[in-house]
């Protein structure tokens, strides 16, 4: 029961992290710079962006939940179970980021999850 709860936390915090960081990066705009002045301006924009900071916190939560669950469960069980974060992140991309996700991309997302599930079988 506790393993399932921790895996659920990992899945949702990983997906939330991905979506929040993507939204933040889009709001910051160009992250490509060569000059020191441009780099400092971009760094300031990143450090003041709530989405990016929230995404980093969610990534940290996912990391620590992953460490905790690995202390009592096998990696070969935990890692495949966390592949559901691909589906949740794709849903978040559609709903929150308003991305257009065609059938081929949905099929690919589910095939990745199915492939991960297959390699986790005993």
Q: Which helix (H) or strand (E) holds 42?
A: helix 36-47
Question: Residues 19, 92: contact at Cβ < 8 Å?
Answer: yes
Domain ranges of the chain: 2-119
Dump pLDDT digits (tens) for 60-105. 999 999 999 999 988 888 888 888 899 999 999 999 999 999 999 9
pLDDT of residue 33 exceeding 70, the answer is no
How far CA 97 is from CA of 1, 17, 22, 77, 90, in Å, comes to 33, 13, 8, 31, 10
Question: Residues 39, 14: contact at Cβ < 8 Å?
Answer: no
Q: Tell me how far apart the alpha carbons of residues 29 and 44 are, in angstroms, rounded to a whole number.
A: 13
Q: Tell me how far apart the alpha carbons of residues 87 and 83 are, in angstroms, rounded to a whole number.
A: 8
Which structure tokens are listed for 61? 């939560």
- Residue 108 — pLDDT band, cuts 50, 70, 90? very high
Q: Which helix (H) or strand (E) holds 89?
A: helix 84-95
> Mapping DSSP to helix (H, G, I), strand (E, B) and coil, where does residue 1 land?
coil
pLDDT of residue 53 exceeding 90, the answer is yes
Which structure tokens are listed for 47? 């450090």
- The share of the chain scoring above pLDDT 90, in percent, equals 56
- Looking at per-residue confidence, does 53 or 37 come out higher? 53
The confidence score (pLDDT) of residue 65 equals 95
């Amino acid at each position: 029961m506790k393993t399932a709860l921790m895996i659920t936390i990992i899945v949702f915090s990983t997906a939330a992290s991905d979506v929040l960081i993507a939204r933040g990066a889009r709001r910051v705009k160009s992250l490509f710079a060569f000059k020191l002045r441009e780099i400092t301006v971009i760094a300031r924009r990143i450090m003041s962006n709530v989405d990016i900071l929230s995404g980093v916190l969610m990534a940290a939560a996912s990391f620590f939940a992953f460490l905790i669950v690995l202390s009592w469960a096998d990696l070969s069980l935990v890692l495949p179970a966390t592949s559901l974060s691909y589906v949740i992140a794709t849903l978040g991309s559609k709903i929150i980021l308003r991305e257009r996700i065609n059938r081929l991309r949905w099929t690919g997302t589910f095939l990745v999850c199915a492939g991960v599930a297959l390699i986790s079988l005993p």
